[in-house]
Amino acid sequence: MVEDIANDVLAKLNLTTTSNDFEGFVGIEGHIAKISLMLCLECKQVRMFGIWGPSGIGKTTIARALFSRISRHFQGSVFLDRAFVSKSMEIYSGGNVDNYNAKLHLQGKFLSEILRAKDIKISNLGVVGERLKHMKVLIFIDDLDDQVVLDALASKPHWFGCGSRIIVITKDKQFFRAHGIGLFYEVGLPSDKLALEMFSQSAFRQNSPPPGFTELASEVSKRSGNLPLALNVLGSHLRGRDKEDWIDMLPRLRKGLDGKIEKILRVGYDELSNKDDKAIFRLIACLFNGAEISYIKLLLADSNLGVTIGLKNLVDKSLIRIGCDTVEMHSMLQEMGREIVREQSIYEPGEREFLVDSTDILDVLNDNTVSALFITT
């Protein structure tokens, strides 16, 4: 019944034309159909809507696919994520969003993006409402748990014209209550069958395992806890390898059965065959997540690291993704990378390759007894 209605809505909105961008993402059509139905795109009122689910489950991928699919039904649209905020604030002095001028600056960037006009300067915080109240806009807010940023950009439904949709993506359900969002979609783990399809897509570039790999593939996908991020990382790692490699790999995944998904993801890093690729992975996790490729290349120009090929390899292994010339690493993978660096020297922070934790930095800078902090590039 639900499927029928969903298909009907999809047909009406002409949403069924698939764009190539998200082809191969198994199960995405199901999510999009259900969310579209809940969004009620024909309804006239302004609606705030939530997408909720744990880390690594594919929220951002679903949101991006949905955005690219429905944005043409709106007069203006914008996808706000951390990259957008940090890019917008890059040339803003002070950096702290919690002041009036910073909010104005951010709102200016926000309006420029929605109206597709360059560098709109605004004079007071009422301007967003004035400019957008007759416009049907689509706003996605991905993983911005920051109250101040939200307040500056999308806190007031009456700022936006009839039919506008504000979609908030988060792993923290409390967030919806705080913002009065009553309607949300929960992204759950895929079924075993769907998980195997996802894994196969990543490992074999097809929807089911080739002959001889069925059992192995089911086993690996089960040990990934059916988590899409893990399915993707493991699938990419095993792509093109022969059966012996798969069998060797299985014991390493046993740990995954106790629910520690970090250990599963760690395999994706440990098994990188090239030292440079590992170094670049750590650099991104500690320093360059969200940075532009040209910026990274500039800073690593004389480091003897093969940056171009390294980035390509990491994309290939599903450890980073590159969008709009910036490098993005999933927060779980970033955490893992930082943990790897921490383990280089657990008790002597000064011996680590990078220091990112503020308490450790505090200790090192305040204590002249620590040994060196070597950055080897």
Partner 1 sequence: MSEIEELHIHKRAFKRMPNLRFLRFYKKLGKQSKEARLHLQEGFDKFFPPKLKLLSWDDYPMRRMPSNFHAGYLVVLRMQHSKLEKLWQGVQVKFCSKIRHITILPFEWHM
Residues forming contacts to partner 1 in the complex (CB under 8 A) are 85-86, 89, 91-98, 101, 104-105, 121, 146-149, 287, 295, 298-299, 301-302, 350, 354, 358-359, 362, 364-368, 370-377
Select 32 or 149, whichever has its Cβ closest to partner 1. 149
Least Å from the CB of residue 360 to partner 1: 11
Select 178 or 257, whichever has its Cβ closest to partner 1. 178
Select 101 or 207, whichever has its Cβ closest to partner 1. 101
Least Å from the CB of residue 300 to partner 1: 8
Select 142 or 197, whichever has its Cβ closest to partner 1. 142
- Looking at residue 77, its amino acid is S
Helices (H), the chain: 2-12, 28-39, 59-70, 82-89, 100-115, 127-132, 147-154, 174-178, 192-204, 214-223, 228-238, 243-253, 261-270, 275-283, 293-299, 307-316, 331-343, 358-366
With beta carbons less than 8 A apart as the criterion, state whether 212 and 78 touch.
Answer: no
CA 34 to CA 69: how far, in whole Å? Answer: 14
Least Å from the CB of residue 314 to partner 1: 19
> 278 Cβ partners below 8 Å, 6+ apart?
269, 272
With beta carbons less than 8 A apart as the criterion, state whether 280 and 310 touch.
Answer: yes
Least Å from the CB of residue 143 to partner 1: 12
Select 250 or 362, whichever has its Cβ closest to partner 1. 362
Residue at token pair 């300067």: 121
Least Å from the CB of residue 115 to partner 1: 18
